[in-house]
């Protein structure tokens, strides 16, 4: 099959552009096209549970409303998130913001109480509000129960958040469970530790595995959207080992495979561990999630609405 040149025209839709990528079939364009095809098939398959992992600074990087929209559209059934993405979602839910970095010196930022994530700034005042509000929520939850799983904790938090753009709130309201195996490695985790200095409040990470394994076993098929690498990617893959691996998956990452890290590993490698089934539909795209996934999902939405 020959490589087709990519054609563009005035006023073409995002889905038309991605279709051109798919027709070309090679390099990054071809991988984006295949990923969009797989995502569309996953969403339209009523027998498939769709897991989504969120690694890297996706929420402070502008992806918050997209994740929330996917939940509200019922295009994702389960989320595995870093603690940081949950924290940054709640920072905004409690009235804080993320700001564009304007090239200032990091030592100056430190003096002013501003933290930097690449070209994103977050002020200490916003984290102070977060700390105050999350402690209030911990107080309410712990007054009713002193032993809770991470997933249950996030569900209870989501029910108390009044922000239509919060993915944590949307997940709770739409019964989409959020798992965060690395929650302690975040500002929320720090606040949990501080809270536990004078409260009998146990957050049980192992308890999540009972609920997660039930979801995997009861699903006819499981697909995954892996945004970024690291712990969230591995937790999503490893949770499906118990049933022979994922049936379909796409991943978008900037990590490279040469060093052997999981974040940079192509999805095909997961077949050797039975984290993805032999014969499964897989696509690995190398690039910035905040550029590529909105493009893919916008094209997917257009395809679904046209069917």
Beta strands in the chain (DSSP E): 48-54, 78-81, 99-100, 114-117, 120-123, 147-149, 178-179, 202-204, 221-227, 246-253, 276-286
Residues in the chain: 307
- What pLDDT, on the 0 to 100 scale, is given for residue 258? 80
- What pLDDT, on the 0 to 100 scale, is given for residue 24? 87
Is 140 catalytic? The answer is no
Q: pLDDT tens per residue, the chain (307 residues)?
A: 788 888 888 988 888 898 889 888 889 899 999 999 999 999 999 999 999 999 988 999 999 999 999 999 999 999 999 999 999 999 999 999 888 888 788 898 898 888 888 888 888 889 899 999 999 999 999 999 999 999 999 999 999 999 999 999 999 999 999 999 999 999 999 999 999 999 999 999 899 999 999 999 999 999 999 999 889 999 999 999 988 899 999 999 988 888 778 788 888 888 898 999 898 999 999 999 999 999 999 999 999 887 6
Among 13, 49, 233, 275, the active-site one is 275
Please indicate, yes or no, if residue 275 is contained in any of the structural domains: yes
Tokens in use for 1? 């099959």
Nearest to 49 by CA among 173, 208, 181, 218: 218
Contact yes or no for 205/149 (Cβ under 8 A): yes
Q: Which domain holds residue 170?
A: 54-287
* Domain count along the chain: 1
Please indicate, yes or no, if residue 129 is contained in any of the structural domains: yes
Distance CA(235)–CA(181), nearest Å, equals 8
User: How many CB atoms neighbour CB 152 within 10 A?
Assistant: 18
Nearest to 84 by CA among 109, 49, 118: 118
Please indicate, yes or no, if residue 296 is contained in any of the structural domains: no
- What pLDDT, on the 0 to 100 scale, is given for residue 307? 63
How distant is the alpha carbon of residue 278 from its chain centre? 25
Please indicate, yes or no, if residue 43 is contained in any of the structural domains: no
Please indicate, yes or no, if residue 16 is contained in any of the structural domains: no
Backbone phi and psi for residue 212, each to the nearest 5 degrees, phi listed first: -65, -45
Distance CA(71)–CA(66), nearest Å, equals 9
Please indicate, yes or no, if residue 255 is contained in any of the structural domains: yes
Backbone phi and psi for residue 216, each to the nearest 5 degrees, phi listed first: -65, -45
Please indicate, yes or no, if residue 67 is contained in any of the structural domains: yes
What CATH number does residue 69 fall under?
A: 3.40.910.10
User: How many CB atoms neighbour CB 236 within 10 A?
Assistant: 28
Please indicate, yes or no, if residue 12 is contained in any of the structural domains: no
- What pLDDT, on the 0 to 100 scale, is given for residue 121? 87
């Amino acid at each position: 099959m020959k490589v087709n040149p990519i054609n563009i025209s005035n006023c073409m839709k995002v889905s038309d552009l991605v279709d051109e990528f798919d027709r070309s079939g090679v390099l990054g364009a071809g991988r984006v096209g295949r990923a969009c095809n797989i995502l569309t098939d996953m969403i339209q398959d009523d027998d498939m549970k769709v897991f989504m992992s969120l690694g890297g600074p996706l929420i402070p990087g502008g992806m918050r409303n997209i994740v929330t929209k996917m939940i509200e559209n019922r295009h994702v059934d389960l989320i595995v998130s870093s603690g940081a993405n949950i924290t940054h979602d709640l920072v905004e839910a409690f009235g804080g913001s993320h700001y564009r970095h304007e090239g200032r010196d990091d030592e100056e930022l430190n003096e002013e109480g501003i933290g930097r994530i690449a070209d994103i700034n977050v002020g200490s005042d916003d984290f102070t509000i977060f700390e105050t509000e999350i402690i209030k929520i911990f107080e309410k939850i712990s007054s009713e129960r002193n032993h809770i799983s991470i997933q249950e904790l996030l569900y209870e938090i989501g029910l108390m958040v009044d922000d239509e753009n919060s993915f944590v709130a949307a997940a709770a309201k739409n019964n989409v469970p959020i798992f965060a195996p690395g929650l302690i490695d975040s500002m929320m985790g720090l606040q949990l530790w501080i809270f536990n200095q004078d409260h009998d409040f146990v957050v049980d990470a192992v308890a999540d595995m009972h609920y997660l394994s039930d979801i995997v076993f009861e699903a006819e098929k499981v697909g995954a959207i892996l945004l970024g690498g690291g712990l969230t990617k591995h937790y999503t893959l490893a949770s499906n080992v118990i049933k022979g691996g994922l049936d379909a998956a796409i991943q978008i990452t900037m990590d490279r495979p040469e060093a052997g890290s999981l974040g940079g590993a192509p999805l095909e490698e997961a077949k050797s561990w039975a984290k993805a089934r032999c014969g499964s539909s897989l696509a690995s795209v190398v690039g910035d999630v905040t550029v590529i996934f909105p493009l893919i999902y916008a094209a997917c939405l257009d395809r679904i609405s046209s069917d």
